A and B are shown apart, each in its own frame.
Chain A
């Protein structure tokens, strides 16, 4: 069964450093998402991406964040200058269509630790 993959599974970085989290969505999916979960808190929506552009973003997704689909398979989340409060589990998800009835498939997550 096709699945969403994410690398790395765990990333440790120093405050102020740039990080890139990588995701490979399911191959025939067109809609891509990033969510994050700070330890002990809710899973929160960050951004959605379709047709090579951001379709929606939350207030969390400020200028420090960017997303890119550099080729036909990868979908990346970049944090330019990490802060302590960026420490969280980051989930990538993909969906085949825009329909609300369609299922979002999630990857296993990348745990980001900012020191």
Chain B
């Protein structure tokens, strides 16, 4: 079984400032890691995913995340945020092996970018 913890439910940040959204996971099996974003009244959209290889993963809209196996973390970062980045961000994992490989989500972090 897997679990995902997103340590901050709300993160307010000023425009053009850097941001980090934290995610820790636990799992008894090897997992893939994902970050999804949900804009108001829209579905969940994949930002980036870590499958293997380089621990620094780059995604859409200037976001990146770093996988740290020893700390079981997958924190999301952006060096300079825009108003349009205001959304809810979800960290998720799925088992590497298995049949359907459903996603296990964290509780989400609401990022609010202030002018």
Rounded to whole Å, the gap between the CB of B61 and the closest CB of chain A is 16
B interface size (C-beta, 8 A): 28
A interface size (C-beta, 8 A): 28
Hey, which chain A residues are within 8 Å of B97, CB to CB?
100
In the complex the two chains form, is A45's CB within 8 Å of B103's CB? yes
In the complex the two chains form, is A108's CB within 8 Å of B42's CB? yes
Contact of A104 among B96, B98, B103, B106 (CB under 8 A): B103
Q: A43-B90, A56-B100, A100-B96 are in contact. Are A4 and B51 (CB under 8 A)?
A: no
Which residues in window 38-54 of B have CB below 8 A to A? 41-46, 49, 51
Rounded to whole Å, the gap between the CB of A94 and the closest CB of chain B is 11
In the complex the two chains form, is B43's CB within 8 Å of A100's CB? no
Count: A-B pairs, CB below 8 Å? 67
In the complex the two chains form, is B100's CB within 8 Å of A106's CB? no
B95 at the interface (CB under 8 A from A): yes
Rounded to whole Å, the gap between the CB of B87 and the closest CB of chain A is 13
Which residue of chain B has its CB nearest to the CB of A31? Answer: B100
In the complex the two chains form, is A50's CB within 8 Å of B100's CB? yes
Hey, which chain A residues are within 8 Å of B51, CB to CB?
100-101
* B residues adjacent to A (C-beta < 8 A): 4, 32, 36, 41-46, 49, 51, 90, 92, 94-108
